[in-house]
Amino acid sequence: MKYTFALAIMTILLVSCQQEQKTEKPSKIDFTGISESIKPGDNFFDHVNKKWYDTIQIADDQVGVGSYSFLNIPQRQLLQNILEEVSAAEHSKGTVEQKVGDFFASGMDTATLNKRGYEPLKPILAKIDGISNVGELMDFVSEQITKGNNSILGLRVAPDNKNSQINILHAGQSGLGLPDRAYYFKTDSSAVGIQNAYKTYVASLFGLADIEGGAQKSDIVYAVEKQLAEAHKTRIERRNIQANYNKLSVGELTASNPNIDWKNLLAKLELSADSINVRQPAYYNKLDEMLGAVSIEDWKTYVKAHTLNHYSRFLSVPFEDALFEYNKVLLGQSKQQPRPQVMAQQVDRNLGFALGQLYVKRYFDEAAKKRVLDLVNNLQKAFENRMSELDWMSDSTKAKAKEKLYAITKKIGYPDVWREYDVDIDRERYFENVVALQENNYAYNVKYLNKPPNKDAWGTTPSTVTAYYNPSLNEIVFPAGILQFPYFDMAADDAVNYGGIGMVIGHELTHAFDDNGSQYDGEGNLKNWWTDTDLKKFKEKTQQLIDRYSSYTVLDTVHIKGAMTIGENTADNGGISIAYDAFKMTEQGQDTVKINGYTPDERFFMSIARIWRVKTRDEFMRNYVNTNSHSPAIWRVNGPLMNFTPFYETFDVKPGEANYKSEEERIKIW
């Protein structure tokens, strides 16, 4: 009897616990703080995020807070945890732990950095002093390219746009210190303030290197850069892929640009190339002209400034302080980041795949890889179905689009083959460590020149919160860093995950068919696979998005650049549509059972609003609108939802509400 009674009690308690566990939801995947006073149809971003936005504080040492790229801020704390642990222990020479730990320690030793001052840079500055003609200047420039200091030349190895099976040398515009060409020609008070802050920064660099006449030299540097900026294409112009494909023989280039002397440049770099894709020929023609017209002394001043700027992050703390004073004006940051955060970023930039191995081992749930792959596969099916139903595209073009869709390579979590760093890291030589790693990075990239692309390589480190589509390789990449809340959670229901990482997956899939991606075929070649009629209709639809987004404002009067952000806006609109269709293929998507008071569809859309929950400083946002191909967060939510009928049906959006668009006004591409 006693045994039976005790067993009964245990059974009741167990059932009770199970019931509690069944009804309990992890708080982070619940939706709290919804502003019921703001109608979803007036401003859905604010409906979901306004209470958070009004109460969250941006840390003094940051320019923003929230999700997406700002999720990398708490991410750096995770990296810092790893780095502090491995740097405090001894490891066998050459191991991942030794390289990562000693590199971190070398950069954390600010006492040694301050003692050395700019001493590590003196031999490089002396080389500049010894330059007496343009040929010697170009020899110096070419040598510095191997150390990551590109200054006036923007060279990289990447697939041939029209023959993706082979890597060639590409040359793009370069040479500026400000974030964009437009900053050199604007006259409003904000732009002038940034111009002056930049000049002050350059002058400070000269002063820190004991070079007299910093202010005057800064003016010389700015004047050279402004001339180079005149030949720069705008960010909108650079979206024209065909115009950026100009494959010219080295003989032609050497004849047309005698001062650059491409043949000698390649010889100095020990690169073998018969031709180069010069993405912006006008820039290199202007550069060649200036090499003959600008005095050699002014050029030496220019390369000194760019050399000091490039290496300043690896010298004594006063160099970091000078950069911070400039960033205060450019981005609004009011306090410097703690040194461990700075070094977490530097390790990730220079030894990112070594650090990535440690990050994945400690923080990544392997089960997430399979579940996300399932989501990707489901979204591909949903995208195929949407393509079949398009009323503006012919069957022949649909067939080719589907072929490309299923040819996409999927990379999830971390690389199958880890990159190795054949570099000796010295715990007491931070500057030398960085130079060695940058030389290693250059050698790693150029070894694939004239060879097939390395399809095992990743364009981002595993710990980074990002995702991307690469048209030349026709691949989508979702690193471990983004496979976390609010984008993805193993404990979350499908509505939350499809509205989160599902939307991101749909976004990246759509990039294969945006204004740029649509120009590449399934093998990654720049090749037209459209009928003339379909292409005309596609361009008409993208123009509608350009016009619509150009009408949106931030900071009251600053307009989004619709033509610059069209690729990302197309992907946002397509991403939501595809993710929703894929969600409706799931059991929960076909149900109406509420969780914590919200239907599955409501949770799907609220998850979308939450993954773009971001708050930034005004200075940062002004620069962002001028230089970033993505729309600001609020319009990554409200913009696409205005065009999506299921959103209207879910929240009963009616005429008269601020973001209401009639059926005819709702733009649908994919």
Q: Are residues 289 and 392 in the same domain?
A: no
- Alpha carbons 452 and 115: distance in angstroms, whole number: 46
* Over residues 8-25, mean pLDDT: 36
Q: Are residues 309 and 368 in the same domain?
A: no
**In this structure, is residue 224 part of a structural domain?**
yes
**In this structure, is residue 113 part of a structural domain?**
no
**In this structure, is residue 265 part of a structural domain?**
yes
* Over residues 539-566, mean pLDDT: 96
- Alpha carbons 178 and 558: distance in angstroms, whole number: 20
pLDDT for 29 equals 82
Strands 154-160 and 64-66: unpaired
Q: Are residues 55 and 166 in the same domain?
A: no
Q: 281, 299, 315 — which closes off a domain?
A: 315
Residue 3 has pLDDT above 50, yes or no: no
Residue 582 banded pLDDT, cuts 50, 70, 90: very high
What pLDDT, in 10s, does the model give residues 436-456?
A: 999 999 999 999 999 999 999
Q: Give 3-state DSSP helix, strand, coil % of the chain, rounded to 5.
A: 60, 10, 35
**In this structure, is residue 103 part of a structural domain?**
no
* Over residues 92-107, mean pLDDT: 98
Residue 129 has pLDDT above 80, yes or no: yes
Residue 4 has pLDDT above 70, yes or no: no
pLDDT for 376 equals 97
Residue 207 has pLDDT above 80, yes or no: yes
What pLDDT, in 10s, does the model give residues 245-303?
A: 999 999 999 999 999 999 999 999 999 999 999 999 999 999 999 999 999 999 999 99
What pLDDT, in 10s, does the model give residues 221-244?
A: 999 999 999 999 999 999 999 999
Which CATH number does the domain housing residue 632 bear?
3.40.390.10
What pLDDT, in 10s, does the model give residues 385-396?
A: 999 999 999 999
Q: Are residues 633 and 487 in the same domain?
A: yes
Tokens of 187: 């006259």
Q: Are residues 272 and 186 in the same domain?
A: yes
Range of the domain at 414: 51-59+364-419+457-665
Which CATH number does the domain housing residue 143 bear?
1.10.1380.10
**In this structure, is residue 166 part of a structural domain?**
yes
Residue 19 has pLDDT above 80, yes or no: no
- Alpha carbons 73 and 669: distance in angstroms, whole number: 35
Residue 6 has pLDDT above 60, yes or no: no
Residue 349 has pLDDT above 50, yes or no: yes
pLDDT for 9 equals 30
Residue 370 has pLDDT above 90, yes or no: yes
Among the listed residues 558, 572, 578, 592, the one whose alpha carbon sits nearest the alpha carbon of residue 642: 572
pLDDT for 557 equals 87
Residue 66 banded pLDDT, cuts 50, 70, 90: very high
- Alpha carbons 171 and 155: distance in angstroms, whole number: 5
pLDDT for 121 equals 97
* Over residues 449-466, mean pLDDT: 97
Q: Are residues 526 and 610 in the same domain?
A: yes
Q: Are residues 221 and 124 in the same domain?
A: yes
The fraction of the chain above a pLDDT of 90, given in percent, is 95
Residue 21 has pLDDT above 90, yes or no: no
Among the listed residues 201, 180, 199, the one whose alpha carbon sits nearest the alpha carbon of residue 324: 201
Tokens of 665: 């006004």
- Alpha carbons 68 and 65: distance in angstroms, whole number: 9
Q: Are residues 394 and 300 in the same domain?
A: no
**In this structure, is residue 145 part of a structural domain?**
yes
The answer to which of 7-21, 26-40, 356-370 has the lowest mean pLDDT is 7-21
For residues 3 and 517, the model is more confident at 517
Instruction: For residue 43, give every residue at least 6 positions away whose Cβ sits within 8 Å of its Cβ, in sequence order, or none.
Output: 634, 638, 658, 659
Q: 281, 296, 315 — which closes off a domain?
A: 315
* Over residues 560-569, mean pLDDT: 98
Averaged pLDDT score across all residues of the chain:
95
Residue 354 has pLDDT above 80, yes or no: yes
Residue 70 has pLDDT above 70, yes or no: yes
**In this structure, is residue 211 part of a structural domain?**
yes
pLDDT for 85 equals 97
pLDDT for 2 equals 35
What pLDDT, in 10s, does the model give residues 293-330?
A: 999 999 999 999 999 999 999 999 999 999 999 999 99
Q: 280, 315, 350 — which closes off a domain?
A: 315
Among the listed residues 494, 489, 490, the one whose alpha carbon sits nearest the alpha carbon of residue 590: 494
pLDDT for 5 equals 29
Q: Are residues 303 and 384 in the same domain?
A: no
pLDDT for 556 equals 83
The H or E element spanning position 77 is: helix 72-87
- Which ranges of 167-295 would DSSP assign to H, the alpha helix? 189-208, 214-230, 250-256, 262-268, 281-293
Domain count along the chain: 2
**In this structure, is residue 450 part of a structural domain?**
no
pLDDT for 27 equals 47
Q: Are residues 614 and 471 in the same domain?
A: yes
- Which ranges of 390-447 would DSSP assign to H, the alpha helix? 395-407, 430-446
Residue 533 has pLDDT above 60, yes or no: yes
Is the Cβ–Cβ distance between 494 and 586 less than 8 Å? yes
Q: Are residues 291 and 394 in the same domain?
A: no
Residue 419 has pLDDT above 50, yes or no: yes
Q: Are residues 510 and 409 in the same domain?
A: yes
Residue 511 has pLDDT above 90, yes or no: yes
pLDDT for 23 equals 39
Residue 530 has pLDDT above 70, yes or no: yes
pTM: 0.93
Residue 7 has pLDDT above 90, yes or no: no
What pLDDT, in 10s, does the model give residues 607-628?
A: 999 999 999 999 999 999 999 9
Is the Cβ–Cβ distance between 588 and 493 less than 8 Å? yes
